[in-house]
Each structure stands twice: as structure tokens, then as C-alpha cells.
Amino acid sequence: MHDAGHNSFSDNKNLNTVLSYSLNLLGGNIYFWKLKHNIAHHTYTNIDGEDHDIEVKFMRIHHDQKLRKHHRYQRFYFPLLYGISYLAWIFYQDYEKYFRGRMGHKTEQFHFPVKERIIFGVSKLIHFSLFCHPSDHFRRVAAHTYRFADFWYCVWYESGHRIPAGPCGGRNRIQNH
């Protein structure tokens, strides 16, 4: 899904589109993911105050973020927070973006096309209706899928965001280039 969301999984644009929309079947929303990841994250990768991926409540991800007393324990509660991050994403954050029309506290409002609003509504309805199925098979499969996704997200996130500063060092290193 990640590579398809970047249109880099295949040379076939249609295949990338179909695979990227598979995120919607898992409860997420590819339109919001592309805005947040491709634009907000890759434009300001690991820059405090700009990159939404390092704005995590109760966590100090970047060395320029204010150090608070509870951060000394984050190595213990980090796995717990990221253990529920996928659920927070699909059950809360997507709706927050939908109704606020923006991501994070600094982002300008974005245009949300009617087509994407319909896809959002239909895919969320399908995803959540599966939880109402009389058999609890889907709920068990979903629970394992969410745990698996959260585990790998935690591993990926740590490897991509907990890296030392490059040779330029300092705040907003991109300005030094």
C-alpha cells in the first residue's frame, strides 16, 4: 500500500491506484494518507512543528520538542501507544480530518473532492458493517490484522524517525543546504 500510494509499486498507474485504495478496505483512507504522508510528511520530513508524523501526544520524537517529565518513561509506554495507533487513525483521526478539513494544528484547509467524500463514506460504512456481522470471525481477524499492522508500524516508525542528525546538524537542517 505504501509504495502504491507513492505510485512506485508498479509502472502500471491503474494497479498502483487499486492497491493504494486497499487501505480503505482496512479502515484507513488513501486520500488522507496521501495528503498527510506524501505532502505534509515528505515535504517537511522530521522537521519539528512541520512534520505531522512527529507530532505525537505524550511522546517526544524530535530533539527540538519540549522535554517534559513524563518523557523519561516513554520507552515503556511507546509500545502501548503505538499498539493502538492504527485504531486511533481509523476510528478517530480520519474523522477529525474529514470534519475539520485540515490535518494537525498548523495545516491549511485542503480541498476534499465529492468523489473522495463518497469513497470515504462508502468504504468506512463497509469496513464498520463487517464488525456487525453475526459471526465474530471478522472481528478476530481484524484484531490480529490491527495488532500486526501496529507492530510493523512501530518498527518502521522507530527506524525512520529515531535517527541521528546529519552532518549539517541544527534546527531545520534543510535550510542549511
pLDDT tens-digit series, residues 22-69: 888 888 899 988 888 777 777 777 777 777 777 777 888 888 889 999
**Quick check: is 39 in a domain?**
yes
Q: Domain for residue 23, yes or no?
A: yes
In a domain, 176, yes or no: no
Residue 117 has pLDDT above 80, yes or no: yes
The grid coordinates of residue 54 equal: 512527529
The pLDDT assigned to 177 comes to 41
Identify the band that residue 133 occupies on the pLDDT scale cut at 50, 70 and 90: confident
Domain presence at residue 166:
no
What average pLDDT does this structure show over 63-77? Answer: 90
Number of domains in the chain: 1
Q: Regarding predicted confidence, which is higher, 153 or 100? A: 100
Q: How far does Cα 54 stand from its chain's mean position? A: 10
The whole-number pLDDT of residue 48 equals: 78
Backbone dihedral angles phi then psi of residue 20, each to the nearest 5 degrees: -65, -35
Question: Residue 48: CB partners within 8 Å, gap ≥ 6?
Answer: 54, 62, 64, 65, 171
- 142-154 CB burial, b ≥16 within 10 A, e <16: beeebeebbeeeb
Q: Domain for residue 171, yes or no?
A: no
Give the whole-number percent of the chain exceeding pLDDT 90. 14
Q: For residue 3, give the nearest of 28, 20, 26 by alpha carbon.
A: 20
C-alpha cell at 130: 463487517
- Measured over the CA atoms of residue 105, residue 108, residue 109 and residue 113, the dihedral's sign is negative
Residue 18 within a domain: yes
* Overall average pLDDT of the 62-77 stretch: 89
The least confident of 85-94, 105-114, 136-145, 151-160 is 151-160
**Of 177, 176, 174, 155, which Cα lies nearest the Cα of 51?**
174
**Domain that includes residue 136, residue range:** 1-158
Closest CA to 34 of 52, 46, 56: 52
User: How far is residue 18's CA from residue 175's CA, in Å, rounded to a whole number?
Assistant: 37
